[in-house]
A and B are shown apart, each in its own frame.
Chain A
């Protein structure tokens, strides 16, 4: 009890814990813990055989944080910026540091624009986006969707109903807009 000086009594002794838990106390000595101390200067430990790495070729103007002095020598090349979302991303990187909320909010906005652009573009291909297969929602039928949820006091059910609205809502709104537009044109 914290109202007096004594340490609360232990429920199990070390010997009891050793008998019950395989390996109990194997890392009791901090010296046996690989990340203690957290910083340990040891340049020879990593396998690097360079003082500064060779530079990877920059095949397009690679967006970077303005908190970096220069483009890092190695970087990912997945999904170069494109379209309006790409313009937004380049603006966020070129204008705002990581310390500014605007940097992240513009990038999040660009992600939503990217999704819309990509969905629209997919309809010009032989493999348009399919919200049924891409959401994996059919697994509800063979992964016990009902019994996994009900009768289990799951608090995440309080908000799971929002997910279908977030996913299907824009699609339904788009279909409604197309139908509305088509009917408006037909009336002319």
Chain B
């Protein structure tokens, strides 16, 4: 089969690999029909995530068709069209039975601090991902769902991570009626978080980024106010001014490890790997939220330490909430919102790229060329 393969920082290519075999009775093998590159894949691509091995196939956002099932699989059969959450989880451990699917304890021998994620380094379990023609899907009776007939393929693809994560991020904000919600980052997760904040009754939604084309999308797709932090000497002061010096009630960090806005923070984290991530967006979130407010962290950070301003968070009495999204838990309600026309997930897809051109797809997405927001990979274009 053809698969994207990591060759070292900033380098990927397509190689011929063996079709993955069934390795566990509850495995399925899925033929991938669509995959996506996630902003968090760029952390792997840039060599930031420890134990990212040459030869690994990335890709934790994908949908496809079941090609083979293991002997204990009861809920899926060959030929089913399935959407697969980015979380790999057993459904039976202490955490899974409490709904914390992203924190499963039975799927990642390499680390206890994170669950299993497709194609996301050995720190997340060492599973190959879906930017390929075929992928092994563990716990086929637990993770994947059959795609409803009414659901568009690209909409289903967005549900496997970006939409579910943005929606989950808004929930962690504990938004109350009329709250002012600020979202740092106008990438896919930030756009979906902003959109979701309205569903939860926000009175005002402000999206902050430095890329004007993404802020335009935040205005048109998420009906949000926007601020380009590059136009302000200090975005925190602007956030205070625009909230009459109170601060936002809820701030969502939808940026994560490669945040821009402070040269030193970015370079020490993203270029020289001396921090788990550049915490500038998170620090801005802590400083922009009102005292007693809530910061929801959806941005992904590496496992090492980062220079986060915990003193401010403590002194302001903040609630900091965060997790990888338990994706499948979001789906029933998200399906209702999509059917009601409240959400149209594939509106954020900007590029559809054949698998054979994936190296150029990664570069374009990484360098923010061609007004790229969300690139979708088509394995058999």
A residues at B contact (CB < 8 Å): 1-3, 8, 10-12, 14, 17, 20-28, 30, 32-36, 38-43, 45-54, 56-57, 62-65, 67-68, 71-79, 81, 85, 89, 93, 98, 101, 104-105, 107-108, 110-112, 114-115, 117-119, 122, 129-131, 133-140, 143-145, 148-149, 152-156, 158-160, 162-163, 166-167
Contacts and interface: CB of A to CB of B under 8 A. Distances in A.
A154 B368 contact: yes
Nearest to A134: B11
B47 interface: yes
B371 A148 contact: yes
Given A23-B342, A27-B200, A42 B99 contact: yes
Given A134-B12, A167-B11, A17 B55 contact: no
A132 B207 CA distance: 36
Given A28-B201, A77-B23, A78-B56, 5 more contacts: A1-B244, A63-B109, A101-B305, A134-B12, A136-B362
A137 B333 CA distance: 41
A34 B24 contact: no
A79 B210 contact: no
Interface string B85-106: 0001111100011111100011
Interface string B27-47: 000000000000000000001
Nearest to B143: A47
A108 to B, nearest CB: 5
Main secondary structure on A side of the interface with B: loop
A24 B201 contact: yes
A54 B25 contact: yes
Contact of B110 (A63, A117, A122, A143): A63
Interface stretch (B125-133, B155-163, B182-190, B307-315): B125-133
Interface string B52-65: 11111100000000
B151 interface: no
Give the contact-size bracket for chain B: 35 or more
Contact of A57 (B23, B126, B201, B358): B23
Nearest to B200: A27
Contact of A76 (B7, B126, B362): B126
B8 A166 contact: no
5 contacts: A8-B246, A104-B303, A136-B359, A148-B367, A154-B210
A178 to B, nearest CB: 19
Nearest to B92: A48
A115 B54 contact: yes
Given A154-B368, A166-B271, A129 B141 contact: no
A75 B104 CA distance: 12
Interface in B319-343: 323, 326, 329-330, 332-333, 337, 340-343
Given A48-B96, A50-B92, A153-B230, A108 B50 contact: yes
A77 B118 CA distance: 11
Contacts of B271: 159, 162-163, 166
Given A56-B23, A74-B90, A148-B367, A98 B50 contact: no
Contacts of B204: 10-12
B371 A93 contact: no
Nearest to A41: B98
A32 to B, nearest CB: 7
A54 B370 contact: no
A148 B111 CA distance: 39
